[in-house]
Structure 1
Amino acid sequence: MKKYISLFLLSSFLLVTSCDERFEELNTDPNRPGASVFDPNLLLPTISYQHGNLLTGYSGPILFQSMWIQALASTSTGGANYYSNADKYVISSSTPSYIEGNWNNGFQLGSRVNQLQILAQEKGLTNLNAVGEIMKVSALSVVSDTYGDIPYSEALKAQEGISQPKYDTQTEVYNKMLTDLEAALNSITPSGDPIRNDVMYRGDIAKWRRFGYSLMLKLGLRLTNVSSSSAQSWVQKAVAGGVFTSPDDDALVPSDEANGYSNTSANALNVPDDVYEVRWSKVMIDYLKATNDPRLSIVAEVPPPGLAANRNGGVVGNNDPAAQIGLPNGFDLRGGDFDISGHPDFPGGTGSGADLAPIGAYSRPTAIYRRRNAPVFILTYAEVQLMLADAAVRGFTSGSAADFYRNGVAAAFTSIGKFGGATVSNADAIAYLNANPLDVSSPNASLKMINEQIWATTSLFVNFLEAWNNWKRTGFPVLTPVNFPGNFGSGQIPRRQPYPAGESNTNPESLNAAISRMGGDNWTTKTWWDGGN
């Protein structure tokens, strides 16, 4: 991947020099090949890697959504007090920079896709242009889902003189994203230009099409609460186009630790403070234990006793399912009413004296989450099958919700092995599926079970943003908000991130119009499609 990303830097230089008045002369210099000979396929690895970073690490998801949706938990004391943003909805000194992470990364990625598309269109590379559109829609949907109204129709048009783009309503953004995605998918053809330097699908056009239609399914379902007819229409278009057919279609971004392109969530979880502070939540561990979920021993471990071992990600803990204990959200180690030691189920610390680890008996993520070469999960067959189960219950598509659910859970067991650790055996998978069929006693019972599984699956895949977004859409799982003193959520689970502070200086008129339409710029303002609870 290193050579591909280095070539992106070369391409950026070429695009800048293309505006120089000496363009013609520079392009005839044999040592400075211009845009006419540069292959825009070389931008794909950079675009893919940055898309992965939208969903991982300190750009926001670990520091916000991971604990808002109560997959992870933290007492947020000592060196890692930045987890107070997530576990207790309390501001830390770096919160303003965390707020802008997805905004900046998303639009930077969009700008790079725009460069790819300009070159692809000039060269008649229709398939590459379409792949770029799939990635752009996927990335900017993350930005809109995180903030609400965003620049879209006028975004990324600085070359056309638009430096202060208007903010489109989220309604407009979604309508345009879905129609843009449909147009891109209609343009892809197996007989067209080959996709090269593709770290995700190795140039497999059929898999790119299935990714695009699976993305359409996800975005279509976002409309469930605001326009069920539109949601159904887009779901049916996605199914007719052809969504993922097996875990082989999973949209994963590979990481490359050796050349400096690590999985950024793994980077975070290798920091000693984070190794100690980040634990699986009580909600997550209780959910997995309630059904004897075979993933539990793969994802959770209790570290060896003592603070030193708890801060060392290189030591192997006890992964016996019976030993796992989830940390309740919303507690600290500062004494007083919210000290975890006062919780009625507090198991006690481990170690003693200077080596005491007060939260050492709680389950932490296993080493698979500290693998810097682990892939980033963007969208998976497991999620697609579970979304189809949801759609089937709602009457948006035909087929058996129970079968879709079974396929989705089985695929989740398969894909957890893609982190590079242990896998779920076939016998354990079958036993679980037979013991835990979809509850079809009522539509609500089915939707509850399906969407709790989406929450667990996306969280275990470290796609906390998707777990949060699906929770906003459906209201499942039912979560009890944390109401810690001084929290910025007014005792409610945050529904969005405020806009970056810099926007008030660079694009104030459009920003203020968006804030007025949305009814405020705070953590609990619901965006257009958000109506699950």
Structure 2
Amino acid sequence: MKKRLIYSFLLAGSTLIAGCTKNFDQINTDPTKINGDLIIPDYFMAQAQIQFSNLGYGQLLFQSMWSQALASTYDYYGNGDKYVLRGSFDSYKANLWNNGYNATTLLDEMKNLIKGKAAYGNLDNCGTIMRMLILQRITDTYGDIPFSQEGQAKTGVYTPVFDTQQSIYTSMLDQLDKACTALDVSKPGPTSDLFYGGNADQVNQWKKLGYSLMLRAAMRLTKIAPDVAQSYAEKAYKGGTMAGINDNAKVKTDNAHSNGNADAGALTVPDDFREVRWGKTLFDYMNSNNDPRVNAIGEISAGTGKKANETQIPGILPTGQQLGMPNGYDLGGGATDISKAPGYPGATPADPAVPGDAPAPVAKYSRPKFAVYDDRNRYNFLLTYGETELLLAEASTRGWNTGTAATHFSNALTADMQTLGQFGTTSVNAADIATYVAAHPLNPATAMQQINMEYYVETATVFNFIETWCNWRRSGYPALVAVVYPNQFATSVPRRVPYPVTLPSTNGANYNAAVAKLSGGDTFTARVYWDK
């Protein structure tokens, strides 16, 4: 289980010696109780950042495989790989809800502590940007959610209303606009900041993050409210979005202090390590474009057989082309056994030198590179410069005043490959990057497909699978073919996550009102407001 980061506040005290009535308030104050004046509010920012960014199964079991970026033959991955109920299904459905609201609670408390204190103006506005980053993920996942009454339990609001997603997006865009405008680059930023802390340009980087998030939120509305999307996309571009990969919003995990990377923690469970592979949809596309990132992110086991396939050490590059595994298969021996998949490359044989070894059925399919994705101290990426450039390229392709589409696209290709170097354990050769970019100029006739397929590759390769899935729903790229498998909870690729099962008993009236607005009810195939 992942341990939650807890900051300890060490307070220096002094001994008070007084008479019966002297210093009455001090004498009658509980010395073990911490009040708001003794807490450093900045600490809540870093705590929210690590809480929100560190997902593990929160994205691996559903969105990574719904988007067909990853695939797995192992049982509990059936939730995402095959749309069947496996493992702690109800807990998985609530994962992003609980993760997001736990993180916003920290920011709510931070904002309560600094309310009315002008010296904390930049922290307050950075907190607003961070809250919008978090709440966007929650609403994009579930639809209508508590927003305007979120975090108000101290004032007696225990059953908050579920705001419509339309009103949430209206408020989000407005709040981002105001927060970005109010940030003062001449004053200090947060002192405890896992995104940009220690950078001389910290406050300006938060401003660029805010405008980039505004752009992403605006582009979610392209199908449902194109006029609003255009207005805010142009506002974000004018305000100043991310300008390079150093502006990437990312969080470094810290295994030595109980904050190990949750994705890596999940993938190094023996069953996961043995059977989670890159998806065929993703790798087929990358291979078709001679994408040099394939060898930066994929590998196979250096040895043959099941034992070697379970040994957690760096692997090797296969001879010839790397293969992604198709979704929808298992190791059950029946009609859906992986050996029945079209183009199945065969198992690697048991190693005769290993007692009791067995063949490894999926070992010839490429797995996420061990040194990169299984590093318990690696970064979690939340929003990147490359993604921002791709969104600007799409906005420009739509004829909006956001610069030149071809330039944004070229910038994105370069940045997306360079971003892999920020993991610190892999990279793409600069010459290979230049060759790839030159060979893939933006073609106006296929621009939407090129832009959004690159968005697919970029978000998947940095393991930001929530965004991979969200942009697929918005753009329609890639053109996914739903998995067919017995006893599915959905016969098409899931488009939302049902609400946590606790809500009918804890906030029943508001839950029922939200569900009543969903076409098809509280299901995996209902669509959120912007997904039309």
What TM-score do the two structures reach when normalised by structure 2?
0.92
Instruction: Confirm or deny: 8 A CA contact 1:324 1:362 kept in the other structure.
Output: yes
**Secondary structure in 1 aligned to 2:381?**
strand
Partner residue of 1:394?
Answer: 398
Determine the C-alpha separation between the residues in 2 that align with 1:154 and 1:344: 51
Matches within 5 A, 1:143-162: 143-162=138-157
Determine the C-alpha separation between the residues in 1 that align with 2:37 and 2:408: 48
Partner residue of 2:99?
Answer: 105
Q: Kindly provide the amino acid, as one letter, of the partner of residue 409 in structure 2.
A: Y
Partner residue of 1:58?
Answer: 57
Q: Structure 1 unaligned runs (5+)?
A: 12-22
Partner residue of 1:168?
Answer: 163
Determine the C-alpha separation between the residues in 2 that align with 1:24 and 1:307: 69
Partner residue of 2:76?
Answer: 82
Determine the C-alpha separation between the residues in 2 that align with 1:243 and 1:324: 35
Partner residue of 2:422?
Answer: 418
Determine the C-alpha separation between the residues in 2 that align with 1:39 and 1:374: 27
**Secondary structure in 2 aligned to 1:355?**
coil
Determine the C-alpha separation between the residues in 2 that align with 1:512 and 1:251: 36
Partner residue of 2:324?
Answer: 326
Instruction: Confirm or deny: 8 A CA contact 1:298 1:421 kept in the other structure.
Output: no
Instruction: Confirm or deny: 8 A CA contact 1:279 1:363 kept in the other structure.
Output: yes
Q: Kindly provide the amino acid, as one letter, of the partner of residue 114 in structure 1.
A: D
Instruction: Confirm or deny: 8 A CA contact 2:84 2:489 kept in the other structure.
Output: yes
Cα-to-partner distance string for 1:230-253 (whole Å, 9 max, x where unaligned) = 000110111111100010100011
Partner residue of 2:531?
Answer: 530
Cα-to-partner distance string for 1:129-188 (whole Å, 9 max, x where unaligned) = 111111111001100000000010111111111100110111011111111121222221
Instruction: Confirm or deny: 8 A CA contact 1:26 1:32 kept in the other structure.
Output: no
Cα-to-partner distance string for 1:183-217 (whole Å, 9 max, x where unaligned) = 22222112345421222111510101111110000
Q: Kindly provide the amino acid, as one letter, of the partner of residue 522 in structure 1.
A: T
Partner residue of 1:360?
Answer: 363
Partner residue of 2:295?
Answer: 297
Choose the corresponding residue for 2:264, options 259, 263, 266.
266
Structure 2 CA distance for partners of 1:26 and 1:256, relative to 1, 3 Å: farther
Cα-to-partner distance string for 1:331-369 (whole Å, 9 max, x where unaligned) = 112122211112231111012373211111111110200
Q: Which moved more, 1:466-475 or 1:152-161?
A: 152-161
Determine the C-alpha separation between the residues in 1 that align with 2:506 and 2:210: 33
Partner residue of 1:214?
Answer: 212
Q: Kindly provide the amino acid, as one letter, of the partner of residue 381 in structure 1.
A: Y
Determine the C-alpha separation between the residues in 1 that align with 2:211 and 2:475: 21
Instruction: Confirm or deny: 8 A CA contact 1:382 1:407 kept in the other structure.
Output: yes
What TM-score do the two structures reach when normalised by structure 1?
0.91
Matches within 5 A, 1:468-507: 468-489=469-490, 491-507=491-507
Instruction: Confirm or deny: 8 A CA contact 1:218 1:387 kept in the other structure.
Output: yes
**Secondary structure in 1 aligned to 2:38?**
coil
Instruction: Confirm or deny: 8 A CA contact 1:8 1:43 kept in the other structure.
Output: no
Structure 2 CA distance for partners of 1:26 and 1:118, relative to 1, 3 Å: farther
**Secondary structure in 2 aligned to 1:115?**
helix
Give the drift of 1:321.
Answer: 7.1
Cα-to-partner distance string for 1:272-303 (whole Å, 9 max, x where unaligned) = 11111100111111111111111111100111
Instruction: Confirm or deny: 8 A CA contact 1:482 1:493 kept in the other structure.
Output: yes
Partner residue of 1:379?
Answer: 383
Instruction: Confirm or deny: 8 A CA contact 2:262 2:376 kept in the other structure.
Output: yes
Instruction: Confirm or deny: 8 A CA contact 1:297 1:321 kept in the other structure.
Output: no
Count of residue pairs brought into register by the alignment: 505
Q: Structure 2 unaligned runs (5+)?
A: 12-23, 351-355
Q: Which moved more, 1:221-230 or 1:338-347?
A: 338-347
Instruction: Confirm or deny: 8 A CA contact 1:402 1:437 kept in the other structure.
Output: yes
Give the drift of 1:29.
Answer: 6.1
Which has more radius of gyration? 2
Structure 2 CA distance for partners of 1:496 and 1:321, relative to 1, 3 Å: farther
Q: Which moved more, 1:342-351 or 1:83-92?
A: 342-351
Name segments (4+ residues, structure 1) moved above 6 Å: none
Residues 1:116 and 2:93 are matched in the alignment: no
Determine the C-alpha separation between the residues in 2 that align with 1:9 and 1:96: 35
Q: Looking at secondary structure, tell me which structure has more helix per residue.
A: 1
What is the RMSD of the two structures over their aligned residues, measured on CA atoms? 1.9
Choose the corresponding residue for 2:342, options 344, 349, 352.
344
